Amino acid sequence: MLVIFWILILVFRMKFLYNLIQLWEKYFLLLTNDLQKAIQLLDSQLLDVLISITLFILIPALFLFFRKKLKFLSININFSLAVLLTLLLAFVFAPIITDENPEFQKDLRMTKLLPPFSKVKVLHLKAGDISNSSAAEKFIAFKNQIVKQSYANNIIFIDNIKRKPDKIIYLQKEKSGELDLNRVQLKNNKSIVTNKSFILGTDEFGRDIFTRLVYGVRISILVGLGSVVVSLLIGLSLGFIAGTRGGIIDIIFSRLTDLFLAFPIIYLIILILAMFGNSLLTVIIVLGLSGWMSLFKIVKSEVLSVKNKDYITSAVMMGLPKMTILTKEILPVIMIPIIVNVIFQFSNVILAESALSYLGLGTGNSYPSWGAMIESGQQYITKAWWMILFPGIILIFTLFSANNLGKNLNKANISVMH
């Protein structure tokens, strides 16, 4: 599976990878020459690209090196595991899988609401002259060539062109424009026209849906993992305290769980997000806060059932510290039910995040999110079905795989216990 991914990327993105490696090299040179400037230039996008290309080279090397120790990699891969693994890869390698910018928009007239597999002709213009500028500026120009920005000055989307002796007339639907010959890139005295394809079509702002889906993985996984960690921390600690102490603390925590379970939790989430503002961080925290109840119940009941076993008593008698008993004696026993629960929780959170984005209470507009994509597709449902279909399918696959994985693990756990 992983090998297939690497081969696919190598085949389809050969040139891009080569460029990225060059970029890394140039950045390294810049780092050694002009440290301050280099650090100034390091924005999140550049960092993202550099990290993913580094990992892309490092991971196969590490695998080759530690081949013998990584036996768990040879487990059978079924459909759901493959989907989740693909999502994980897309999370890390988003800038390599697609070389577009998720926010890229240009010439709306030409690129708006294109159906899947459509191609648009691109006229390439000359870039600014960079022959006699400093090393840093050269690097910036090179970077902008490779790492795509959300806007590009040196291309125009066109329907058709007509060549005149001293200028070029291009057509964009009903509108036409002209360009001087010296502004257009020429090759054998002909202007360069290439095709740009949009595999899954474009949205209402002419943004590539495939790219947005790949980057949308990041939001979903980030929110999923983040809030699962939050609820794991809360559920585990409260459950452990309630299970070991009992008494009044147990009663208080149990009432608290009842309180959270006593009315549809989605309204509480909406209430908090609507009143206190929604951002990536608040969404993660609120979703995490709303999902700890089942974990709390599981941990509490497991701790209660384990507490009076002989080996725990002997551990207490031996005077082991509480943390050691928790991590060494209790956690391994309750690990699998917790993992199963965490996987279900993960799929719940992804669903909740996309539903919130659909309702306009998501993580904001700075990142593409599947739910928000579906929400914007709703307005164009008569014209552009692909805006809903593809994010919807990805969402269904993700949820299905997570549910399936949880179910299989649960089944395996039960059969081990019997």
Partner 1 sequence: MNKVFIKSLSKRIVTSIITLFLLVSFLFVLTRLSPGDPTQKYLSAEFSPELKEKVTASFKLDQPIFNQYINFVANIFKGNFGISYGYRQPVLSVVWQFLSFTLVFATLSFLLQIIVSSFLAFKSIRNKGKLFDRSVLNISLIVYAIPAFVLGLSLIYIFSIQLDLFPSSGLRSLDFESNSFFGKIGDYIYHLSLPLITLSLAGIALFYKYLRESLEDVYQQNFILNLKASGYDQSTILKKHVLPNAVRPLLSIAGIELGILLGGALITEVIFSLPGMGRLMMDSIFARDYPLVIGCALTAGVLMIASNFLADMIKMKLDKRLIKGLIN
Q: Which residues bind partner 1 (CB under 8 A)?
A: 255, 258-259, 262-264, 266-267, 270-272, 274-277, 347, 351, 354-355, 358-359, 371, 374, 377-378, 381-382, 385, 388-389, 392, 395-397, 399-400, 403-404
Q: Choose between 226 and 377: whose C-beta lies nearer to partner 1.
A: 377
Instruction: Tell me how far apart the terminal alpha carbons of the chain are, to the nearest angstrom.
Output: 33
Q: Choose between 65 and 79: whose C-beta lies nearer to partner 1.
A: 79
Q: What is the DSSP letter of 327?
A: I
Q: Choose between 4 and 275: whose C-beta lies nearer to partner 1.
A: 275
**Nearest distance from C-beta of residue 269 to partner 1, angstroms:** 10
Q: Which two tokens stand for residue 120?
A: 């648009």
**Nearest distance from C-beta of residue 271 to partner 1, angstroms:** 5
**Nearest distance from C-beta of residue 351 to partner 1, angstroms:** 6
Q: What is the DSSP letter of 73?
A: G
For 227, residues 6+ apart whose C-beta sits below 8 A from its C-beta are 283, 284, 285, 286, 287, 288, 291, 349
Pairing type for strands 160-163 and 190-191 reads unpaired
**Nearest distance from C-beta of residue 173 to partner 1, angstroms:** 25
For 254, residues 6+ apart whose C-beta sits below 8 A from its C-beta are 242
Q: What is the DSSP letter of 182?
A: G
Angle between helices 44-65 and 79-97 (to 10 degrees): 130
- Given 3-state DSSP classes, what are the helix, strand and coil percentages for the chain, each rounded to the nearest 5? 65, 10, 25
**Nearest distance from C-beta of residue 364 to partner 1, angstroms:** 17
Q: How far is CA 279 from the centre of its chain?
A: 16
Cα Rg of the chain, angstroms? 27
**Nearest distance from C-beta of residue 274 to partner 1, angstroms:** 5
**Nearest distance from C-beta of residue 165 to partner 1, angstroms:** 50
Q: Choose between 43 and 258: whose C-beta lies nearer to partner 1.
A: 258
Sign of torsion over alpha carbons 35, 37, 39, 42: negative
Q: Choose between 162 and 411: whose C-beta lies nearer to partner 1.
A: 411
Q: Choose between 137 and 258: whose C-beta lies nearer to partner 1.
A: 258
Q: What is d(CA 102, CA 196) in angstroms, rounded to the nearest whole number?
A: 15
Q: Choose between 41 and 351: whose C-beta lies nearer to partner 1.
A: 351
